[in-house]
Amino acid sequence: MLYLTDPDRLSDVLAEEPRYRSTQLHEWLYEHPVLSTTDMTNLPDGLRRDLEPMHWPFTLDLEQTADGGRTVKWLFRCGDGSPVETVLMGYPSRTTLCISSQVGCAMGCTFCATGQFGFDRHLEAGEIVAQVAYANAHLREQPLPNSPSRVTNVVFMGMGEPLANYDRTMEAVRRMIEHMQLSARAITISTVGLVPGMRRMLLEPWPLNLAVSLHSTIPAERSRIVPINDRYPIDDVVAAAGEYYRVKGRRVSLEWTLIAGENDSDDEAIGLARIARDIHAHVNVIAVNPTPMSDDAPPTRDAMQRFVGMLRSKGANVTIRDTRGKDIDAACGQLRLRAEER
């Protein structure tokens, strides 16, 4: 499998070919990816045919488009049938790809369709990177309206907890930076608060963005929504996030999935604003995307505005994140859910 091979070792799969073929193949895989080896125009026909079955580590199972063509969601299937979800979102100044790092997830967050499936396996570094390459290959043929025609930003916010798959995640990050010209400042690692992984990130050479999912500031309530809070309590998570800001100089973002009647109270807003101020973090609030396996409902528009207004009045920097692709099950794990129902 081409993407499962270290980009520096492509000559291993081209043993019979002259050395310059590895440079050509590298360009087609990482710098200017194409959907099919038939488009690798400077490779001989026979080689293109031989490489085709090895090209992608997955096949496309489902593709859905929403938001006037500005959101595209893919469900891929790996060779072992494992589902991988990836979402491409176009904005005027950036094209963001939300990628998966695991098949399923062991964290069990109550509002999340992926968490409700449980954990299957880690994705390999090559399976993570291939999602970015596939998106670039797709954009080459079908750019999103009024958005850059290459992935400019990558967020690890799809299926899985990237810091639970630490080594493969960081190897994927290395390949994106060293082989795909992505800036570390344009890559965001999102975690539900795995403190040891957050501390390991301090030692990485890159100024990656860190997003920490809090969802509640009240320990017992957070443990209910985010069960890993029992192992890594919120105070330790916030301390690790604050250290990341101090050491790396990168402002951390605090993610808050707003659930009606669960974490939308004034007390929660006041507690969240205090944490955000203390560690100079930015708050992203997003309404929960309902899933069939949970009763969690999004807040009303008024409740959302009140929560965000309270945060701002207490001095927090806040962005309301739009729920892209609502009509296509774009929240993490939801497309897989749809596919399993077929």
- The site for ligand SF4 (CB under 6 A) is made up of 105, 107-109, 112, 114-115, 159-161, 192, 332
Q: Which is nearer to ligand SF4, 56 or 117 (CB)?
A: 117
332 is catalytic: yes
Question: Can you give the three-state secondary structure of the chain, one letter per residue?
Answer: CCCCCCHHHHHHHHCCCCCHHHHHHHHHHHHCCCCCHHHCCCCCHHHHHHHHHHCCCEEEEEEEEEHHHCEEEEEEEECCCCEEEEEEEECCCCEEEECCCEEECCCCCCCCHHHHHCEEEECCHHHHHHHHHHHHHHHHHCCCCCCCCCCCEEEECCCCCHHHHHHHHHHHHHHHHHHCCCCHHHEEEEECCCHHHHHHHCCCCCCCEEEEECCCCCHHHHHHHCHHHHCCCHHHHHHHHHHHHHHHCCCCEEEEEECCCCCCCHHHHHHHHHHHHHCCCEEEEEECCCCCCCCCCCCCHHHHHHHHHHHHHCCCEEEECCCCCHHHCCCCCHHHHHHHCC
DSSP β-ladder status, 83-90 and 95-98? antiparallel
The CB-of-215 to ligand SF4 minimum distance in angstroms stands at 9
109 is catalytic: no
The CB-of-108 to ligand SF4 minimum distance in angstroms stands at 6
Q: Which is nearer to ligand SF4, 22 or 334 (CB)?
A: 334
Q: Which is nearer to ligand SF4, 108 or 271 (CB)?
A: 108
- Choose, from 78, 109, 112, 332, the residue flagged as catalytic: 332
- Choose, from 85, 124, 161, 262, the residue flagged as catalytic: 85
Q: Which is nearer to ligand SF4, 107 or 237 (CB)?
A: 107
Q: Which residue is nearest to ligand SF4 (CB)?
A: 115
Q: Which is nearer to ligand SF4, 34 or 97 (CB)?
A: 97
Q: Which is nearer to ligand SF4, 177 or 293 (CB)?
A: 293
Distances in Å between the alpha carbon of 24 and those of 3, 32, 92, 140, 162? 15, 10, 32, 18, 31
The CB-of-255 to ligand SF4 minimum distance in angstroms stands at 9
- Positions marked catalytic: 85, 332
